[in-house]
Each structure stands twice: as structure tokens, then as C-alpha cells.
Amino acid sequence: MPLPLEELEAKLDYRFQNRDLLDRALTHRSVSVHGADNERLEFLGDAVLGLVACERLLALFPDASEGRLTKLKARLVSSRSLEEAARSLDLGRWLRLGGAEESSGGRDKRGLLVDALEAVLAAVYTDGGLPAARTLILEHLLTEDRVQAAERNLAVDNAKSTLQELLQSRGLPLPSYRVVQELGPPHRRRYRIAVQIGPNFTVESEAESKRDAEQQAAAEALSQQSDWLPPA
């Protein structure tokens, strides 16, 4: 059973004037009556989060190009980032789910957690205005640590292209990527990817998506290029 809403308010550090908004934000369509679920709030929350993310990035990176800001924003508001924030709040413990979703582990599903978090952001926005929503987002989603991590990961995003260009410039065969192992339950799958360069060098990396694992493996290969790249 979901916990009392007062406990979630304490985690959010926000007390609702209209607690029905919070209740609705946590209500999945599998248990709603007459459409009283969190889908419309989720739609609004996504927009509020996008606005605050843009404000934050423009303030932190006044000289960054639009392209760089767009990439940073995409990482900060990704489903993976939202899932991490939702789990840090233990949001799944407050979800209102129908029997089928409950029995299938709905409280631990990424999609349901992400939707509920966006709906909670919208509920705070509706109840307390943009300043209240902005405070919540900055404290739980766009923290300094998360922004710094997004900036670091941006460098990894180009690792595959950089590795390919380096090999081509030396007339060497292109790297090959393969899935070594799939880990975890279907709703929290992780992938271990190996990148092989030539016959003798292989390095592995693990992430929540094949794309991220490949990029990280390529970045690791680049960091070890003295082990496999012959002198120019």
C-alpha cells in the first residue's frame, strides 16, 4: 500500500495547499476513475522541467553554443536521469496502481517512475507556481553533481566517432562491437559491450543502454591507445 502523502511532502520539502494534486500525480491509469490519473500532469511536468533546465543551463554556461546546450539538456532530462531522481525519492512507494501493475512490479518500472515524477513536478507547479517547481527541480534533478556529470558524459558521446577517425587515419581496420552480457530484469536491463581493435586488444564497458556502453568502451579504448596503436 502507498505510504501517507505527508511523508512524501517531507522528502520533497514542499507542503501542498491542495493535496489532491499530489494524490492525482501518483495515480496510474490502471487504478484511476473517470480519467483521474497522472497523464495530463505528466504532460505539463515535462514542459516545466524543460523550461527550468533551459534557465539553469543558460545561467551556468553563458558562452556555450545552442548545440552544446541542447545535448546537455537532453542528458539532464533523459528518462535515465529522471529515474535516478525518482528512485532517490523512493517515489515508487507512493504510487497508486491497479492490481495488474502492482503484481507485475510496477513500483519498480522506469516508465512509471519517470511519469510519476514529471506529474509531481506539475502538481507542485500548479499548487505553488513556478518558483516552487523550480526549487524542487534544482534540489532533486538539476543539482550541481548531475550537471557536472552531464558535462563529463558529453565528451564520451563522441568517443566512437573519434576512435573510428583515428583508426582510419592510420589505415587500420575499424573496431567491432559486440554484446558480451545482458544483466538485470527487463525493466532495468544493463548491457556489457566489448570493443575489439585488431586481433589482440579488447576492452569492455557496461551501461543501461547499448549505445552508452559502446561509447564508454570506445572512450576506454582511446584512453589505452598506447597499448594498441602503433607509432605514427
Which residue from 195, 156, 163 is spatially nearest to 178, judged by alpha carbons? 195
Residue 39 lies in a domain: yes
**144 and 219 inside one domain:** no
Q: Would you state the pLDDT for residue 208?
A: 84
Q: Does the pLDDT at position 111 exceed 80?
A: yes
Q: Which of 60-74, 143-157, 174-188 comes out lowest in average pLDDT? A: 143-157
**53 and 32 inside one domain:** yes
Number of domains in the chain: 2
In terms of DSSP bridges, do strands 201-207 and 176-183 run parallel, antiparallel, or are they unpaired?
unpaired
Q: Would you state the pLDDT for residue 2?
A: 61
The domain boundary residue, chosen from 156, 187, 219: 156
Active-site residues, by number, are: 46, 118
The domain boundary residue, chosen from 127, 156, 185: 156
Alpha helices in 61-143 (DSSP H): 66-76, 79-88, 99-103, 110-140
**15 and 129 inside one domain:** yes
**169 and 213 inside one domain:** yes
> Mean pLDDT in the chain?
90
Nearest-angstrom CA–CA distance, 66 and 74: 12
pLDDT tens digits, one per residue of 173-221: 999 999 999 988 877 789 999 999 999 999 999 988 898 899 889 989 9
**126 and 208 inside one domain:** no
CATH number for the domain harbouring residue 59: 1.10.1520.10
**113 and 59 inside one domain:** yes
**44 and 145 inside one domain:** yes
Enter the C-alpha cell of residue 13.
Answer: 520539502
Q: Which of 10-14, 92-96, 104-108 comes out lowest in average pLDDT? A: 104-108
**144 and 170 inside one domain:** no
**121 and 206 inside one domain:** no
Range of the domain at 68: 5-156
Nearest-angstrom CA–CA distance, 224 and 178: 19
CB 184 within 8 A of CB 206: no
Q: Does the pLDDT at position 1 exceed 60?
A: no
pLDDT tens digits, one per residue of 10-64: 999 999 999 999 999 999 988 866 678 999 999 999 999 999 999 999 999 999 8
Q: Does the pLDDT at position 132 exceed 80?
A: yes
Residue 74 lies in a domain: yes
Query: Rounded to an integer, what is the distance from CA 7 to the centroid of its chain?
Result: 25
CATH number for the domain harbouring residue 213: 3.30.160.20
**172 and 147 inside one domain:** no
